[in-house]
Amino acid sequence: MPELPDLQVIAEFLQRELVGAAVTQVAVLKPIVLRNLYGGEVAAPLVGARVSAVERRGKFLLFALSSGARWVVNPMLAGRLRYHETSERVPGRPFVRLSFDNGSTLSYSDPKSMGKVYLTPALELVPGLSGLGPDALSGELSLETFAARLRRHHGELKGILTNQQFVAGIGNAYADEILFCARVYPFRKRNTLNSEDVSRVYACMRSVLQSALDTLRQRVGADIHEEIRDFLLVHGRGSMPCPRCGTAISEIHARQRVTSFCRQCQPGTLIRQ
């Protein structure tokens, strides 16, 4: 699942490559992911329009076009964008392609068919976008604001961190990394946290995401379709030694996701499966 660091690097790359380029062709090969909120022909608001900005908001990518249209990508679990020369043959069959007058094409593929691509005249029409909480790396999200927002939520901490209405941009993988950094059990209830716990979670949220962002800026380049996770410390590393204490990393399948953590560094009572 692409998360804040992945999508921020993609947005920065496409901002450099596509701003000023005009759309020359739109191909919808698998319509299941496309939501045309204009109605009518998809090409009408797109072809001839120039890209004026590319940005990230939470786990959405937003493309602003000179026609006033907005192209919004919410990749969800498995959606991927590939940037390539229009003449280049790429593996697989994409769902949607946008080609540009600079000789490039942006293709969207989604093996799970769970993501969404919106063509819309207004961002407020995109489901889930207006309800996002503050960005997890926003300069306006202070410790005090984080703590106050956290008090409004109940339940397990990992579930709260991945709730986009709490803070935007964190998914399954980076929630594991943040809680490992903070030495907090992923299934711990929010109401058991003290102020020191909250401060550690906040600090780790900022440091883990920023460190990942710095790493990906160095490594991704034009290969925005590649998901690089080999530098993560616990997520996806079940049975491997904890980098902090050497205990085998545990993995639990619950809440329709895999949670990776160290039961020595992050003690807690395991839930019954």
Last residue of a domain, one of 93, 125, 157: 125
3-state secondary structure of 52: strand
Q: How many domains does the chain have?
A: 2
Enumerate long-range contacts of 236-244, CB under 8 Å, 24 or more apart: 236/173, 236/260, 244/180
Residue 255 reports pLDDT greater than 80: no
Residue 136 lies in a domain: no
**270: pLDDT confidence band, cut at 50, 70 and 90?**
low
Give me the pLDDT at residue 146, please.
98
Q: Rounded CA gap, 48 and 98, in Å?
A: 12
**β-pairing verdict for 257-261 and 51-57:** unpaired
The pair of structure tokens assigned to 254 is 């619950």
Q: Kindly tell me the sign of the dihedral angle through the C-alpha atoms of 262, 4, 170, 207.
A: positive
Mean pLDDT to the nearest integer, 231-240: 97
Q: Could you give the CA distance from residue 243 to residue 249 in angstroms, rounded to a whole number? A: 9
Segments in the chain forming alpha helices (H): 4-18, 143-150, 157-161, 172-182, 195-219
H or E element that contains 252:
strand 250-254
Question: CATH code at 177?
Answer: 1.10.8.50
* Tally of CB atoms within 10 A around 118: 21
Same domain, 106 and 156: no
| Residue whose token pair is 């800026």 | 217
Q: Cβ(268)–Cβ(187) under 8 Å?
A: yes
Buried b (16+ CB within 10 A) or exposed e, 81-103: bbbbeeeeeeeeebbbbbbbeee
Q: At what angle do helices 4-18 and 195-219 cross, to 10 degrees?
A: 40
* Interval 101-138: pLDDT, tens: 999 999 999 999 999 999 999 999 999 999 999 999 99
2 is catalytic: yes
* Predicted confidence band of residue 37 (pLDDT cuts 50, 70, 90): very high
Q: Tell whether 56 and 91 lie within a shared domain.
A: yes
Closest CA to 59 of 96, 140, 5, 13: 5
Are residue 211 and residue 117 in the same domain, yes or no?
Answer: no
Q: Which of 50, 57, 149, 257 is an active site residue?
A: 257
**Assigned domain for 194 exists:** yes
Determine whether 257 is an active site residue: yes
Do 150 and 121 share a structural domain?
Answer: no
59-83: pLDDT as tens digits: 999 999 999 999 999 999 999 999 9
- Same domain assignment for residues 52 and 83: yes
Same domain membership, residue 176 and residue 120: no
- Domain encompassing residue 166: 143-261
| Last residue of one domain, picked from the residues 67, 96, 125 | 125
Residues 176 and 242 in one domain: yes
pLDDT over 90 at 184, yes or no:
yes
Select from 99, 125, 151 the last residue of a domain: 125
pTM: 0.95
User: Which pLDDT score, from 0 to 100, does residue 273 have?
Assistant: 38
- Give the single-character DSSP code of 11: H
Active site annotation includes 3? yes
Contact 114, 78 (CB under 8 A): yes
Catalytic residue among 56, 59, 70, 158: 59
Q: Which of 41-55, 83-97, 247-261 has the highest mean pLDDT?
A: 41-55
Q: Which amino acid is at 152?
A: R
59 as an active site residue: the answer is yes
Specify the amino acid at residue 89.
Answer: R
The pLDDT of 39-68, averaged and rounded, is: 97
| Within-domain flag for 65 | yes
Q: Is residue 267 part of a domain?
A: no
Same domain, 197 and 251: yes
One domain, residues 102 and 184: no
CB 47 within 8 A of CB 101: no
Residues 12 and 114 in one domain: yes
